[in-house]
Amino acid sequence: MRFGTKAIHAGVEPDPTTGAIMTPIYQTSTYVQESPGKHKGYEYSRTHNPTRTALQKALAALENGQHGICYASGLAATDAVLKLFRPGDEIISTNDLYGGTYRIMKRVFEPFGQVFHFVDMSDTANIERVISDKTKMIWVETPTNPLLRIIDIEAVAKLARDRGIMCVVDNTFATPYLQNPLDMGADIVMHSVTKYLGGHSDTVMGALVLNDSDLAQQLAFIQNASGAVPGPQDCFLVLRGLKTLHIRMQRHCENAGRIAQWLLDHPKVGKVYYPGLPSHSGHELAARQMRGFGGMVSFELKGDVYEEAVRVMESLTVFSLGESLGGVESLCTHPASMTHASIPAVERLKGGLKDTLIRLSVGIEDVEDLIADLENAIG
């Protein structure tokens, strides 16, 4: 089955009781048993819920994986992965990544004894420099948030596999429509479902997709034992969102490409970060690794004046100023004070993230209106 057909049909079957074409919202905490231990496969909704089961199957199918496991947020999914490791285990992560991922690694798991290295993975030699026999996992995020660097998934996954190290890819920015990390050798794909997969800025959720059944069992155990599960209403909303993922992503990519080029041509704009631009350092790799360049664009104004960047962000009217991304509506984010505020300023700067960086999540509105909005704000 091709992507669009899978997005609409995968994991979803007519409801066995009524034939309802849409998976019902099974808003129930428990399930009546015929006799102790004799039930229809469902005992308690933290462990299993039919709406969640349908979504997990759909997500697994879209990522070409065997197992999908949903969590209450993207960070709860990351938390589950990190719980696989023990004190003394070392983890290598990219140095340009979502601030909350950095925060859970440094502030929650490091105090328990895990050791983290943050390196620029756009050059895989940087990974080899910090690998040791204690390295247990490599955490990749590509395109990175917010500088949209591109990391070679196949190269990193091979490097990891050759040494018996697990490779996890946060595929939130690309979505399975643009790249499938499992097909490139990654062990686990992680998603903030909150973003493009849900697609309508109305749900917070996370997911993991993988092929290894033993590992899936461990992660499902953590899902149930730690209890960070999404509710059935949210699962329904994401099942509904997924049906248009391919159409939305086409438009996100188209609009973002137009806007990136428009920004590049603007005399007041300095650096533009978009993997679809031939001037982007990861352009060739992105063209090889991805089926499109995504809906995220970051930029800085010439002169790097903080107050000027703030004025632009305050002046936008079609783009809303706020955290998050991947919804149908365009959003503008100030990473330094919002999504990446949990990374100390010196670390942010070391990774290349300036306080003047503006990040756009380009929505699926008419692109002419988005450009007019930027034109009015930038002046």
Which residues are identified as catalytic? 46, 98, 170, 195
Residue 5, Cβ neighbours under 10 Å: how many? 10
How many binding residues for ligand PLP (CB under 6 A)?
16
Q: Is 23 left (phi over 0), alpha (psi -120 to 50) or beta?
A: beta
Exposed, middle or buried, 225 (CB in 10 Å: 0-12/13-18/19+)? Answer: exposed
The secondary structure of the chain in percent helix, strand, coil, rounded to multiples of 5, reads: 40, 15, 45
Residue (139 or 378) nearer to ligand PLP, CB: 139
Torsion of the alpha carbons at 137, 147, 68 and 102, rounded to the nearest 10: 50
Segment near ligand PLP (CB under 6 A), from 33-41, 169-177, 274-282, 305-313?
169-177
Is residue 145 part of the contact set for ligand PLP (CB under 6 A)?
A: yes
Helix axes 245-265, 367-378, angle to 10 degrees: 30
Which of 49, 51, 135, 192 forms a contact with ligand PLP (CB under 6 A)? 192
Is residue 98 part of the contact set for ligand PLP (CB under 6 A)?
A: yes
Residue 2 CB, nearest distance to ligand PLP (Å)? 26
Residue (101 or 114) nearer to ligand PLP, CB: 101
Residue 71 CB, nearest distance to ligand PLP (Å)? 9
Are 154 and 179 in contact by the 8 Å Cβ rule? The answer is no
Residue 305 CB, nearest distance to ligand PLP (Å)? 27
- Structure tokens given for 236: 């329904």
Residue 293, C-beta contacts closer than 8 angstroms, at least 6 positions apart: 178, 253, 256, 257, 274, 275, 276, 286
Residue ranges in 100-129 that form contacts with ligand PLP under rule CB under 6 A:
100-101
What gap in Å lies between CA 76 and CA 82, rounded to an integer? 10
Residue ranges in 66-85 that form contacts with ligand PLP under rule CB under 6 A:
73-75
Segment near ligand PLP (CB under 6 A), from 36-44, 48-56, 170-178, 302-310?
170-178
Is residue 96 part of the contact set for ligand PLP (CB under 6 A)?
A: no
Which residues lie near ligand PLP (CB under 6 A)?
73-75, 98, 100-101, 141, 145, 170, 172-173, 192, 194, 204, 206, 339
